[in-house]
Structure 1
């Protein structure tokens, strides 16, 4: 059994294949980001999943692509957890950028591959290897154009009284905006980045509102300026995207991409489908 995993900060998609590449099961857990979760929490999330617990000893190969796996230390941390949970498996752990690359770009083809989900990332793929210009410092300092980026913007504008009154009333009805409740989630509970990203649904649902249009446009333009334009060949190769923010705001994203004379490539909500096709070739 071969298991392929695409894990963001919010959720993780798992697909198991047999030796012929046929799908055995598909399941989902909460995200398994090693930067914000302890070993105990990660193990608990897997153990609480019926399919994973039942088949843990049957897995021969595990290909894991995850948010928070950009450093060797984090990859080793996760690899040790997986080897314990899947005792008979050969384990490969890579950062989620590779999932985006394998899902959108053919081997040997060049492109810029971006992640716009709970967090954000941007890399250049020269057809063989991954090249990054910006080292991510996480959701507090970076993650331009991501779900937690837009969530943070909405909360700040609401409390600074910069959100239009009509929208503010709807925002107040949609979410618990008690200051103590928000601070509890941001400073005392796990996954504050995921919590912030829950507010991004509001901007998607109200994307036709002039205020939301402006926030979306500025957020995507900031992502282009700070990430995509770092690469000299930015206007010469296709720019691909994966993630819920990119997918649900794809028309707004395309407008910003085209305005900057960039070539818009593939936009996928989830890279897992492309990952399965990629790994079927090696089974």
Structure 2
């Protein structure tokens, strides 16, 4: 049995593959970002999932691709947690950008971007992945991500900069009291996930002129600070992976065009092609 996982801060997609290379199950758990969550939280999110607990001694290999795994310390930290649960497994931990590249199933060079709860960007030369900026997480970086947009609209609402009709709708759907916001940001787990859940409002109302401006400004900031760091970006396709990218397809095309950049394709769920790749090797 092998396990393949693609994890963000909000959710982790798991696929278990049996010895014949067939899918045993597909499940989701909460996110397993080692840069955000404490050891006890990470352990609980794995062992509390019955399907994973039931096969923990049968798993021989784990291929985990995740947000927050971009440094060796973070990868080793998560690997140690898995080794304590899946005691018979060989475990490999990769950054989520590797999952993004593999999910594209291409050997064509391109800039590969992740837009989900968080964001990231790397250059794929056809064989290897290169990164110039190590993400510093949701407080300082993650432009054009779900949590980035959540921060923008909470601030605009609080400063009275959101259009009145949209602000009223926003307030009717979310508890925007200062106490509630501060509790989620400073006292509860997963502040980045909370912000991303709020940021969803912007996408659900993206036909509004205000929402369009915020969304496109975020994409412009991401392009200028992430994509354009690579000189090759003007001459290769720009690929995107993640739910935010999926829902902002049209906006991405428009803003890329402003910078003379070309969209390659958008993949919403990398886990499917990742699992197919690992299953094909197992069945040979």
Query: Same fold by TM-score, threshold 0.5 exceeded?
Result: yes
Matches within 5 A, 1:57-136: 57-106=57-106, 108-136=107-135
Deviations 1:161-205 (A, max 9, x none): 100000000000010001011011101111111111111211111
Report deviation, 1:259: 2.3
TM-score by length of 1: 0.97
SS at match of 1:233: helix
Q: Is the 8 A contact 2:70 2:134 kept in 1?
A: no
1: CA distance, partners of 2:20 / 2:109: 30
The residue aligned with 1:175 is: 174
The residue aligned with 1:26 is: 26
Q: Does 1:53 align with 2:37?
A: no
2: CA distance, partners of 1:280 / 1:17: 7
1: CA distance, partners of 2:92 / 2:135: 22
SS at match of 1:123: strand
The residue aligned with 2:190 is: 191
Q: Does 1:233 align with 2:232?
A: yes
Report deviation, 1:135: 2.0
When structure 1 is superposed on structure 2, of 31-40 and 55-64 the one drifting more is 31-40
When structure 1 is superposed on structure 2, of 8-17 and 271-280 the one drifting more is 271-280
Note the residue ranges of structure 2 that are not aligned, 5 or more in a row.
none
Report deviation, 1:123: 0.2
The residue aligned with 2:164 is: 165
The residue aligned with 1:215 is: 214
Q: Is the 8 A contact 1:105 1:111 kept in 2?
A: no
2: CA distance, partners of 1:276 / 1:261: 34
2: CA distance, partners of 1:257 / 1:19: 44
Deviations 1:137-177 (A, max 9, x none): 11111111000110000000001110000000000001000
Q: Is the 8 A contact 2:5 2:13 kept in 1?
A: yes
The residue aligned with 1:250 is: 249
Q: Is the 8 A contact 2:3 2:63 kept in 1?
A: yes
Deviations 1:6-47 (A, max 9, x none): 000000000011223211101110001111111111111111
1: CA distance, partners of 2:54 / 2:134: 38
Deviations 1:87-144 (A, max 9, x none): 11100001111111100142x3211110000000000011222111112111111111
Report deviation, 1:280: 2.7
Q: Is the 8 A contact 1:148 1:200 kept in 2?
A: yes
SS at match of 1:185: helix
Deviations 1:205-229 (A, max 9, x none): 1100000011111111111111000
Q: Does 1:4 align with 2:4?
A: yes
SS at match of 1:141: coil
1: CA distance, partners of 2:233 / 2:19: 40
1: CA distance, partners of 2:39 / 2:205: 38
1: CA distance, partners of 2:52 / 2:119: 28
TM-score by length of 2: 0.97
